[in-house]
Structure 1
Amino acid sequence: MSHAPVLTPPGLRHVCDLYVELDPIMEMGPGQAGQRRIIPIIGGRAEGPEINGEILNLGADWQTIWANGVAELEARYVIKTTDGALIEIRNYGYRHGPAEVLAAVARGDDVDPASYYMRTTAQLETGDPRYDWVNKTLFSGTGARLAGQVVISLFAVE
């Protein structure tokens, strides 16, 4: 009888923090899966040990708010690194928490990110050979929604 190998949990390596600037929410109304909305991404920056640069005014977060209050987040945008590479980010995740906390987040109040759940998985892609490692790495993030901005700490899954 063969034994399965002992597998260890993956580690996380901090890659950068994303400060994503947003335009006001565009409410689309109810869709088949829930309340639909689009939040334009108009800029920002990436700062960290492995990726630094500006987030371009090119992208959006397409959200669906489910009947149970969970926000399904699906964002796509671009970082132009300080050394000139373009890195596309496709970020998918969930945000949920107590109704009163989410109402405060929606108003733009200063809310402790530990009081609600905001996690993402991300795929990064580039044609620049200096950053080829992003094409073959999985990423996970933890986030916070602020007034006019989303902040995400992005980690490589090792």
Structure 2
Amino acid sequence: MADTRHLFRIDVELGPMLDIGAVPAGHRRVIPITGGSFSGERLSGKVLPGGADWNLVRPDGTVYLWARYTLQADDGTLIMITNDGLQPGDPATMARILAGEPIDMSAWYAKTRPTFEVAGDKYAWLNQRIFVGSLLPAGPTAVSIDIEEML
């Protein structure tokens, strides 16, 4: 198994879901990102409003997550994040999550592949590493992602 090092936890605030509906690839939803924060030993700051998760519920029930948004480090540096991943499961579990109800976390699987874009030398290592995220529901208007750097 690969070694990892914790990068940070992102706590993302979400706006009301926009239900696009049935599209050729499945059922499209857009979930606006309205703010939040991130904190870790090497990097902390805030989530800027303006991004979204353009997720797709595929015909097999798996949710394909694809989110783009901007982080602002405590020193003012802007960091673009693109986070895609998969959350397989039954529709009843997702309905409970969207309603803010508790779920059995032992049966929850939601992993992401965050990539970063940042200018300058200070955080250039973010452009050059592989990361894995674990998505955690935090109620109907928030989500948390624990991001690990692959060593």
Matched residue, 1:59: 51
Structure 2: how far apart are the matches of 1:154 and 1:116? Answer: 17
Matched residue, 1:15: 7
> How far 1:108 sits from its partner (Å)?
1.4
> How far 1:67 sits from its partner (Å)?
1.4
Matched residue, 2:111: 119
> How far 1:112 sits from its partner (Å)?
4.2
TM, length-normalised to structure 2: 0.94
- Per the alignment, in what secondary structure is the counterpart of residue 126 of structure 2? helix
> How far 1:137 sits from its partner (Å)?
0.6
Given candidates 25, 39, 62, the residue that maps to 2:31 is 39
Q: Percent identity?
A: 33
Matched residue, 2:145: 152
> How far 1:51 sits from its partner (Å)?
1.6
- Per the alignment, in what secondary structure is the counterpart of residue 117 of structure 1? coil
Structure 2: how far apart are the matches of 1:128 and 1:59? Answer: 22
TM, length-normalised to structure 1: 0.90
Q: Highest Rg: 1 or 2?
A: 1
Does the aligned pair in 2 maintain the 1:101–1:115 contact within 8 Å? no
- Structure 2 runs not aligned, ≥5 long: none
Q: Does 1:142 align with 2:124?
A: no
Does the aligned pair in 2 maintain the 1:113–1:143 contact within 8 Å? no
Structure 1: how far apart are the matches of 2:87 and 2:60? Answer: 11
Q: Does 1:106 align with 2:98?
A: yes
Matched residue, 1:79: 71
- Alignment RMSD: 1.3
Does the aligned pair in 2 maintain the 1:86–1:126 contact within 8 Å? yes
Distance change in 2, residues 1:50/1:112 (3 Å): farther
Q: How many residues align?
A: 150
Does the aligned pair in 1 maintain the 2:85–2:110 contact within 8 Å? yes
